[in-house]
């Protein structure tokens, strides 16, 4: 029996974010080139996107390429960029068929021109879809995103367009690249690492964290369902106590 049958469809997280870690180690463990691990990891992406659609997740953010990843060997970067283009070419029809909206966060302008064009093509051709929003974090870094938001707000203050008294948490969030999406309720990280690696630092203030030893290329639909079930077993108190939540019917 699939673990999907144990999921409470009324309590599925609206937004799930994933740090897809372990492609390189998966390949190394098999005596293969790291690029082989990335190719295998792309298959896991397809499985998880399908699983998310099946259980009703509305937003799925995948940490695909961080700003720090630009420091990797040039050949590996080229392989990842090529894989992104291949993924879009092979999956664009599937995205349309399944009403999936493709979008991104991060500095897309830093990607190779060919990749930028392909990414923009996917965004434009799925912009009217109303199902799952598949968000790829590309050339993304949370610290950089926060810093950029501060710069924009400071400039507006200098120009007299804003006053410091206008700034609140909600106001600040509107200047982040994630402004159009709700904050994640669940963050999954694979490969046994227990760190955030500069990913959605502002947005995950109250996000449930789930760490799993499985390397990303081995992560499948059942692993995803298991993370959802674990999420549903938790009590999100947000500073309150259990009794307060129970009175309002919030206890999971």
In whole angstroms, what is the distance from residue 12 CA to residue 218 CA? 23
Q: Which two tokens stand for residue 238?
A: 């947000």
SS3 of 199-246: the string is CCCCCCCCCEEEECCCCHHHCCHHHHHHHHHHHHCCCCCCCCCHHHHH
Relative orientation angle of helices 34-55 and 74-97, to the nearest 10 degrees? 20
Element (H, E) at 81: helix 74-97
In whole angstroms, what is the distance from residue 222 CA to residue 31 CA? 27
In whole angstroms, what is the distance from residue 206 CA to residue 187 CA? 10
Active site residues: 21, 69
In whole angstroms, what is the distance from residue 54 CA to residue 103 CA? 20
Q: Which two tokens stand for residue 165?
A: 């008294």
In whole angstroms, what is the distance from residue 251 CA to residue 245 CA? 6
Give the angle subtended at the CA of 237 by the CAs of 172 and 49, to the nearest 5°: 70
């Amino acid at each position: 029996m699939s673990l999907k049958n144990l999921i409470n469809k009324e309590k599925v997280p609206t937004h799930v974010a994933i740090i897809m870690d372990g492609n390189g180690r998966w390949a190394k463990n098999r005596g293969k080139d790291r690029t082989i691990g990335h190719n295998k990891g792309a298959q896991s992406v397809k499985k998880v996107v399908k699983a998310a659609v099946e259980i009703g997740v509305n937003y799925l953010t995948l940490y695909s390429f961080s700003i720090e990843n630009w420091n990797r060997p040039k050949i590996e970067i080229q392989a990842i960029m090529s894989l992104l283009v291949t993924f879009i070419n092979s999956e664009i029809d599937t995205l349309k068929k399944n009403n999936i909206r493709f979008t991104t966060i991060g500095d897309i302008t830093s990607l190779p021109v060919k990749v930028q064009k392909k990414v923009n093509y996917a965004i434009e051709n799925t912009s009217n879809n109303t199902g799952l929003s598949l968000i790829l974090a590309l050339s993304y870094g949370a610290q950089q995103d926060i810093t950029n938001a501060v710069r924009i707000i400071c400039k507006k203050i200098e120009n007299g367009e804003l006053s410091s008294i206008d700034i609140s948490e909600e106001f600040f969030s509107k200047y982040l690249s994630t402004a159009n999406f709700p904050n994640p309720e669940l963050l999954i990280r694979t490969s046994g690492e227990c760190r955030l690696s500069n990913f959605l630092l502002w947005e995950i203030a109250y996000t449930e964290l789930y760490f799993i030893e499985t390397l990303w290329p081995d992560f499948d639909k059942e692993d995803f369902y298991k993370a959802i079930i674990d999420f549903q077993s938790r009590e999100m108190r947000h500073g309150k106590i259990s009794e307060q939540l129970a009175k309002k019917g919030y206890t999971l």
